Amino acid sequence: MKQKLQGRVIASGLQFPEGPVALPDGSVLVVEIAAGRLTRVLPDGTQRVVAEVGGGPNGAALGPDGHCYICNNGGFSWRTDGGFMRPTGPAADYRGGAIQRVNLDSGLVETLYTHCDGVPLHGPNDLVFDGQGGFWFTDFGKTFEDRMMRGAVYYATTDGRFIRRAAHPVLTPNGVGLSPDGGTLYVTETETSRLWSFPVIGRGELGHEAWPSPNGGRLVHGLPGFQRFDSLALEEGGNICVATLVRGGISVFSPVGELLEFHDAPEGYCTNICFGGPDRRTAFITLSGYGQLFEAVWPRAGLPLSA
């Protein structure tokens, strides 16, 4: 079922926003990838810079300590056509990716991880906390003009002392989320427009299906034609809401893989969704190409996030 998002733009002029995080006071945190910063958007649309983090902050989530954790992809190069911005490759000064922590009160930025078992993080993209004090995150990899570094799914703790690669190789892994019971991890692949699931079997451990699964995951759904997947968020009832590029909108899948709905967005670079408001029926969606944060009425409640 196709329907148009009903809502309004609440902030514009952002430099390729992603990673929205709805806060209890009604404000929304977003990363601005092209500007290398974390920004708070107030309910009236006012924008306040929280921290300059450098590189390419790509995804964000609140941790159990109240700090904001960021996946930093190390930076992109950019192209703008008619006011529409899009990434084109790594930044000229790209040196690798990182997981960062930002104190929302002071703006202090700390780097927690740049490597796992001696292997550099290439392009951390998105993360989700598991309620046990740790978080899962995707590393998109990195795409150059003549080669592509494949990505992976990792697990890490907030103390900077434990990081583990849980699935590899994954082709351009992007969004990541947990089922309501915490027992299933969902991961999107951008270039294949595929949604995968993995059973969580332990701390930083995922169950893996045998070949011919290319990454150990179970295919939940794959869209036909030229579409691309970005980030995702879960509904309270377990549906998976995936930001879908090119077509531009939010694809909603059931846990068993049925495509339930498609919500049309105002632009093709519809990159992220999160839920907020007192009943979690407000969807905050980043429309990154034109630098906007969109607020929409959602038909069902979003899943409360662990922290």
pLDDT value, residue 306: 80
pLDDT tens digits, one per residue of 111-166: 999 999 999 999 999 999 998 999 999 999 999 999 999 999 999 999 999 999 99
The helix (H) or strand (E) run that includes residue 5 is none
pLDDT above 90 covers a percentage of the chain that reads 98
pLDDT value, residue 13: 98
Per-residue confidence band for 227, with pLDDT thresholds at 50, 70 and 90: very high
Tokens of 11: 């902030």
Instruction: Map residue 219 onto helix, strand or coil.
Output: strand
pLDDT value, residue 80: 97
Cα(259)–Cα(244) distance, integer angstroms? 13
What is the rounded average pLDDT of the residues 197-210?
Answer: 97
Q: For the range 155-161, what are the long-range contacts, defined as Cβ-Cβ under 8 Å and sequence gap of 24 or more? A: 155/203, 155/204, 155/205, 156/99, 156/112, 156/113, 156/204, 157/133, 158/63, 158/64, 158/65, 158/67, 158/69, 158/101, 158/112, 158/133, 158/134, 160/112, 160/113
Q: Is the pTM of this model over 0.95?
A: yes
pLDDT above 70 covers a percentage of the chain that reads 100
Q: How far apart are the first and last CA of the chain?
A: 33
Question: How do 124-129 and 163-170 pair as beta strands?
Answer: unpaired
In the chain the domains, ranked by start, together with CATH numbers, are 2-297 (2.120.10.30)
Tell me: pLDDT of 280 over 90.
yes
Helix-, strand-, coil-residue percentages of the chain, each rounded to 5: 0, 55, 45
Per-residue confidence band for 255, with pLDDT thresholds at 50, 70 and 90: very high
Tell me: pLDDT of 87 over 70.
yes
Averaged pLDDT of the chain: 97
pLDDT value, residue 307: 64
